[in-house]
Amino acid sequence: MILVTGGAGFIGSNFVLDWLDTEAEGVVNLDKLTYSGNMANLASVADNPRHIFVRGDICDGALVAELLKQHKPRAIVHFAAESHVDRSIHAPAAFVQTNVNGTFTLLEAARAYQSTLTGAERDNFRFLHVSTDEVYGSLGPGDPPFSETKAYEPNSPYSASKAASDHLVRAYFHTYVLPTLTTNCSNNYGPFHFPEKLIPLIIANARAGKPLPIYGDGQQIRDWLYVSDHCAAIRSVLAAGRVGETYNVGGWNEKTNLEVVHTICDLLDEIDPRAQGGSYREQITYVTDRPGHDRRYAIDARKIERELGWRPRETFQTGLRKTVQWYLENEDWVRNVQSGEYQSWIDRNYNQR
């Protein structure tokens, strides 16, 4: 059994589905179901006895302790977070609460739990913290990509809160010998991505005939990774990563935001041409840039490749084609998220612990 936090969100739900598909062990899935958690992501495992869902807050130490005592997981895989940079600019408090205090609460509970384990159970226990490349700050055009030794220079309340959580995880390894692992990954994309983020937003707006908003000049560079490649990387780190270490995960896919939007428009032009003719590119609109918008992120993934033999399976082209196809085939999911219907359904069906 493993305990996953945030397993109803974008990456967490992909990870849970992938885990139940590929591993024999079960999952206890602790998620508060904030606006970004969506039980529809987990519909295919609703009746799977190896998936135990608990609606609750990672900041609730008593609940976390109870779940650890009851289910005795051999690992915690920690995704739960406030994750959207724009929201962190407007309302940073929730980011500090969940990302910093929540991670602290989990670490304390994990430390107490580990002290109850003996022998192989104690030796094999792992706390895997899922983090972001945004903690490293922004790169200039000729700078080398982020390696694991790059100094932390977070620029948004989101990245600062994730940086703080990374430091706590590091400290719990060094101070308490808690067997931690940290992954710092580049931008993910794929199924179940909340349509406030660039790629799903562009696909949804394009289909709805709405403007395709581009921040500033659209020349911000991000390094993109298909979500199932990230899930596979987390599984490799959990299986064979060296405790106390950090692994950077990325797809060697540096793209400007404008290139990403152009590629989506071109794929849609091919797969689902506009009723009125012309290209989806005609819907592109430039909007005022986000304050403190980092210019470039890029990941040096050589450590995880060398030590664990992990490699991304998807290229940007193949991953983006799968993503566009998924959104075209799952318009109900998008509609439910955009209308807020998924949240009323959650509130009717799940009591918060």
Residues involved in catalysis:
133-134, 158
- Identity of the residue numbered 30: L
Nearer to ligand NAD, 79 or 104 (CB): 79
- Min dist CB 346 to ligand NAD, Å, is 9
- Min dist CB 205 to ligand NAD, Å, is 19
Nearer to ligand NAD, 85 or 214 (CB): 85
Residues 6+ apart with CB under 8 A from 168: 100, 103, 104, 107
- Min dist CB 123 to ligand NAD, Å, is 27
180 binding ligand NAD? (CB under 6 A): no
| Site residue total, ligand NAD (CB under 6 A) | 31
- Min dist CB 339 to ligand NAD, Å, is 18
Q: Using the rule CB under 6 A, which residue among 17, 27, 31, 40 binds ligand NAD? A: 31
Between CA 133 and CA 126 the distance in angstroms is 22
From the list 206, 199, 192, 207, the residue with the least C-alpha distance to 342 is: 192
Q: In Å, what is the CA distance from 268 to each residue of 13, 194, 219, 272, 309? A: 26, 19, 22, 5, 34
80 binding ligand NAD? (CB under 6 A): yes
Q: In Å, what is the CA distance from 97 to each residue of 109, 126, 162? A: 16, 24, 11
Indicate the Cα dihedral angle 205, 211, 212, 217, nearest 10°. -170
98 binding ligand NAD? (CB under 6 A): yes
228 binding ligand NAD? (CB under 6 A): no
Nearer to ligand NAD, 130 or 283 (CB): 130
Q: Using the rule CB under 6 A, which residue among 6, 191, 195, 200 binds ligand NAD? A: 6
In the 8-state DSSP scheme, what is residue 296?
A: B
291 in helix, strand or coil? coil
Q: Using the rule CB under 6 A, which residue among 42, 54, 128, 130 binds ligand NAD? A: 130
Q: Using the rule CB under 6 A, which residue among 150, 162, 255, 303 binds ligand NAD? A: 162
Assigned token pair, 252:
């060697």
Between CA 36 and CA 153 the distance in angstroms is 26
Nearer to ligand NAD, 136 or 194 (CB): 194
Q: Using the rule CB under 6 A, which residue among 19, 53, 79, 125 binds ligand NAD? A: 79
The region of 28-36, 136-144, 314-322, 339-347 touching ligand NAD under the rule CB under 6 A is: 28-36
277 in helix, strand or coil? coil
Q: Using the rule CB under 6 A, which residue among 16, 19, 27, 36 binds ligand NAD? A: 36
DSSP run (H or E) holding 247: strand 246-249
Nearer to ligand NAD, 173 or 192 (CB): 192
Assigned token pair, 316:
């940007």
282 in helix, strand or coil? helix
Residues 185-214 binding ligand NAD (CB under 6 A) are 185, 187-188, 194
Q: What are phi and psi of 152, to 5 degrees?
A: -75, 130
Q: Exposed (0-12), middle (13-18) or buried (19+): which is 280, by Cβ within 10 Å?
A: buried
- Min dist CB 30 to ligand NAD, Å, is 6
Residues 6+ apart with CB under 8 A from 262: 281
Q: Which residues bind ligand NAD (CB under 6 A)?
A: 5-6, 8-12, 31-34, 36-37, 57-59, 79-83, 98, 102, 130-132, 162, 185, 187-188, 194
